[in-house]
Amino acid sequence: MLSSETKQRIRLALWFLLAIATARAGYILYQRHQDRVAVEKQHQARNVGYSNPDYYVSPKKLYPYDLKTARQLTQQPEWVKEGYRYTYYPYDPASKRVQFGHDAGLLGPIEKVSITDVVTATAPTGAQKRQVMAVFQKDGKNYAVPIGYEADGEYKIYSDEMFYIEDPHQLYKHWPADVWQAVEQHQVKPGMNEMQAVFAIGMGRPDAGSSSDEKTVHYPNGGKPLVVVYHGDKAAAIKPDSAGS
């Protein structure tokens, strides 16, 4: 017969597992609610008649909340949303070790990545957290890029913010051929909007005080920094960024 102390421990353990399951379910419901809100905004935009078709694109998400759900990333290729933002590292699949001390590079703009596994690894710093790493191959070598972390059994995974799981060429097939040509050549041309510039040359940093009417954005551009001035979300001036070199 179980003692009262053992029964109490079992009850506490069950309550703990229930709390974790409830938190995960709540997180997923919240994320899906946010997506529904985004879709509703798109419908509202369509009813209002916004002229920019980009507002109507709603990329799919995976909502990963642990290693098992994160491994959905292995079921299709991914495309990087913001190039020159995410550092990846050499990975040894035999020992399952990530060489955090040797940066291998930055994922490029709209770079296509085929993730083969999702693992956890302890980084040299931040010992309280284990990094969640997406493993992929590039030029015949194995690498891993952080897509989240785990602490005290709880996961925070942000791969939905890092990757498209649908081909962006299809998501934004309404873009003209010359825009896609510029994107493939990693060039920003006058008249391109800010999203198209991100597809072409990666992440950017807007100046403080920028507005929707006029915005100045600095792009590291993989070591070839550019500054782009937008008028009404259209690139009006493009030049080398001496402040970013």
CB atoms within 10 A of CB 23: 12
Q: Where are the beta strands (DSSP E) in 27-125?
A: 78-80, 87-92, 97-98, 105-106, 112-113, 115-121
Instruction: Tell me the pLDDT of the chain (245 aa) as tens digits.
Output: 556 666 566 666 566 555 555 555 555 554 555 555 455 554 554 444 467 889 899 999 999 999 999 999 999 999 999 999 999 999 999 999 999 999 999 999 999 999 999 999 998 775 668 999 999 999 999 999 999 999 888 999 999 999 999 999 999 999 999 999 999 999 999 999 999 999 999 999 999 887 778 999 999 999 999 999 999 889 999 999 987 65
pTM for this entry: 0.78
88 vs 85: CA distance, rounded Å = 10
CA distances from 160 to 54, 57, 64, 72 (A): 18, 15, 8, 11
Nearest CA-CA partner of 145 in 104, 112, 95: 104
Could you tell me what percentage of the chain is helix, strand and coil, using 3-state DSSP and rounding each to the nearest 5?
A: 35, 30, 35
